[in-house]
Amino acid sequence: MISDQFDAFFFDLDGVVYLGDEALPDAVESISRLAEMGKYIRFLTNDPRPSRTSIAADLQDIGIEVDRQHVVTAGWATAKYLTQQAIGSSAVVGSDALNSEIRKHGIEVTDDSPDAVVVGADEGTAYDDIRRASRHVADGAQLIGTSPDGWFPTPDGPSPGAGSIVRAVETASDTTATIVGKPEPLMFEMAQTGIPLTARIAVVGDNPSTDILGAHRTGLTGILVTEDEPAQSSKYDLKYPDQTISSLADVFSDESEVWDSPSFDWPDAVRPGVGAVVLNDEDQVLLVKRADREAWALPTGNIEKCESLEEAIIREVQEETGLTVTVEQVTGIYSNPADQLFIYPSGETIQYITCCFRCSVIDGSVQANLDETIAVEFCDLGGLPGNMLEMQRAWISHAVRNRDAPVVK
C-alpha cells in the first residue's frame, strides 16, 4: 500500500482535499487514518489569498484536525522568502491576508519606493493594481510572484489564479518574476521543517505542472489524483506522476514506484539551434572560446524568427568569428538533454535541439567578437583542446566522417 511506503504526506488542497466548501469523497477519512498511523501530514496550497490560520480552521470545519504550523500557503512562503532575501519593504498586489502575512515577518508594506513588489491575486485585483506593480518594477523593485497557477478549480468552474496576474505584470514591465510557490522547490523544503531527514515523503496533488513537477524537482515522490491516466511524453518528464489515484482512499490500496530522477535539470524551454563544423584546407576545424563559459566550442547559436537554418548558421559564424562561410551539408541533429541543456547566468535553463552543418570559408579573416567570444582559432583535428564541450567532439567526428557525402543544396 502507498500508506506503508511513506512516512509523510504533503497534500494539495483545492481539487484534492476539498472543492469550494465541500470535502471531496474519502478525503477526511483517509487523511485522518494516515494521522492515526503516525504519518507526518502537511498541506500545501498555491492560493495566496488565505492565511494559514484560516485554512487550518476550514480543515477543522470539515473534520480534519490540523495545526496551522502544518499549513504552507504561497503567501506565507513568499513572506518567509522575503526575509531570507533581506528585503525590507514591499508593495503587495493581493488579499488582506497576504499583506498581513508579509507584515508579520517584519517587512514594511508600502508603495513608497519598495524594495520588491509581491504579486498574488484576489477577487478585488484590478487594472490599477497591475499598473501599480509594473511601475514599481520600472523604478527598480524586484518582481516576486506568489505562484504560477493560471487558474484554480471551483464548483462553478475554473477561476483565474495568481499566475494570470503575475504574467500580466511581467508583460507590462518586460520582466520575469521570481516565483515562490509550486513547482519551485522552496515550498516543499519549507514543509519539511520538523520532519526527519530520513523520512520518505509523498506529494499528493491534482496538477502535474505544479504538484508533480515540484515534487520531482525536490526529489520527492509525486502522486496524482485524477480519473484519467496521464499521457507520458518522456520517461524523463518530471510532470509524469509516480502513481495515479482516483481518490485519497487509494493510498491504502495501490503501490507507487520510486521516481528515478534524470541526471539533468528541468528545462524552462526547448529551443532550436544551429552548429557549424567549419573545416579549412589544412584539415583544421574552427573553434571559439565563449566569454560566458570559457570553454572551446563550435560556433553555435539560436535560430531567429523568420530565419532559415542556412541563414542562421551563416549569421552565427559571421558574428562569432568574422568569417563568411558557405553551408555544405547537414551532419547531424542532436537533442539529448543530458548533453544539450545549459543553465545561463540569468538562471534560465534551456534544452537545445541543434542542427549541425559542415561549412567552408569563402571570405573574411578570423577575429573574436568580444561581446560573445574571447578567442577564435583553427585547431588540428588530432589535437583538439582539452577544455572543450565533450558532445561537440562527436559532432566534429560525424562531420569529418561524412565529408565525402554529396553536398546539400
> For residues 81 and 21, which has the higher predicted lDDT (pLDDT)?
81
Q: Looking at residue 407, what is its pLDDT?
A: 44
Report the interhelical angle of 74-84 vs 96-104 (nearest 10°): 30
Whether the per-residue pLDDT at 233 is higher than 90: the answer is no
User: Sign of the CA dihedral 28, 30, 34, 36?
Assistant: positive
Whether the per-residue pLDDT at 19 is higher than 80: the answer is yes
Percent of the chain predicted with pLDDT > 90: 73
Whether the per-residue pLDDT at 62 is higher than 80: the answer is yes
> For residues 168 and 156, which has the higher predicted lDDT (pLDDT)?
168
Whether the per-residue pLDDT at 347 is higher than 50: the answer is yes
Confidence bin at 409 (pLDDT 50/70/90): very low
What does each C-alpha distance from 232 to 102, 212, 235, 344 come to in angstroms?
A: 39, 13, 7, 28
Residue appearing with cell numbers 493510498: 251
Q: Looking at residue 370, what is its pLDDT?
A: 60
Q: Is 21 a catalytic residue?
A: no
Confidence bin at 408 (pLDDT 50/70/90): very low
Tell me the per-residue pLDDT of 105-136, one tens digit each, with 9 for 90 and over.
Answer: 999 999 999 999 999 988 899 999 999 999 99
Tell me the per-residue pLDDT of 286-344, one tens digit each, with 9 for 90 and over.
Answer: 999 876 667 899 999 999 999 999 999 999 999 989 999 999 999 999 998 988 898 88
- Alpha carbon distance 313, 325 (integer Å): 9
Tell me the per-residue pLDDT of 87-107, one tens digit each, with 9 for 90 and over.
Answer: 999 999 999 999 999 999 999
Domains and CATH numbers, the chain: 2-46+183-252 (3.40.50.1000), 75-178 (3.40.50.1000), 269-401 (3.90.79.10)
Q: Is 325 in a helix, a strand, or coil?
A: strand
- Alpha carbon distance 406, 404 (integer Å): 7
Q: Strands (DSSP E) along 111-241, which ranges?
A: 116-119, 142-145, 151-152, 159-160, 178-179, 201-205, 221-225
Whether the per-residue pLDDT at 277 is higher than 60: the answer is yes
Type of residue at 179:
I
Q: Looking at residue 387, what is its pLDDT?
A: 87
> For residues 345 and 28, which has the higher predicted lDDT (pLDDT)?
28
- Cα–Cα nearest to 313, from 350, 362, 344, 278: 278
C-alpha grid cell for residue 274?
544551429
- Alpha carbon distance 35, 33 (integer Å): 5
Among 12, 129, 242, 250, which one carries the catalytic annotation? 12
Among 14, 47, 149, 206, which one carries the catalytic annotation? 14
- Alpha carbon distance 22, 42 (integer Å): 19
Label each residue of 158-175 as H, E or C.
CEECHHHHHHHHHHHHCC
| Residues in CB range of 206: below 8 A, 6 or more apart | 12, 14, 15, 16, 153, 224, 225, 226
- Alpha carbon distance 244, 228 (integer Å): 8
- Alpha carbon distance 66, 399 (integer Å): 63
Q: Is 260 a catalytic residue?
A: no
Q: Which span out of 32-46, 256-270, 292-306 was modeled with the highest average pLDDT?
A: 32-46
- Alpha carbon distance 101, 76 (integer Å): 6
What does each C-alpha distance from 134 to 176, 329, 390 come to in angstroms?
A: 11, 48, 43
CB atoms within 10 A of CB 373: 21
Q: Looking at residue 158, what is its pLDDT?
A: 85
Q: Looking at residue 404, what is its pLDDT?
A: 61
Tell me the per-residue pLDDT of 359-388, one tens digit each, with 9 for 90 and over.
Answer: 999 998 888 766 667 889 999 998 999 888
Percent of the chain predicted with pLDDT > 70: 95
Whether the per-residue pLDDT at 76 is higher than 60: the answer is yes
Is the Cβ–Cβ distance between 262 and 242 less than 8 Å?
no
Q: Looking at residue 405, what is its pLDDT?
A: 55
> What's the CA angle centered on 326, arms 320 and 330, to 5 degrees?
95
- Alpha carbon distance 326, 25 (integer Å): 66
Tell me the per-residue pLDDT of 298-311, one tens digit each, with 9 for 90 and over.
Answer: 999 999 999 999 99
- Alpha carbon distance 325, 318 (integer Å): 8
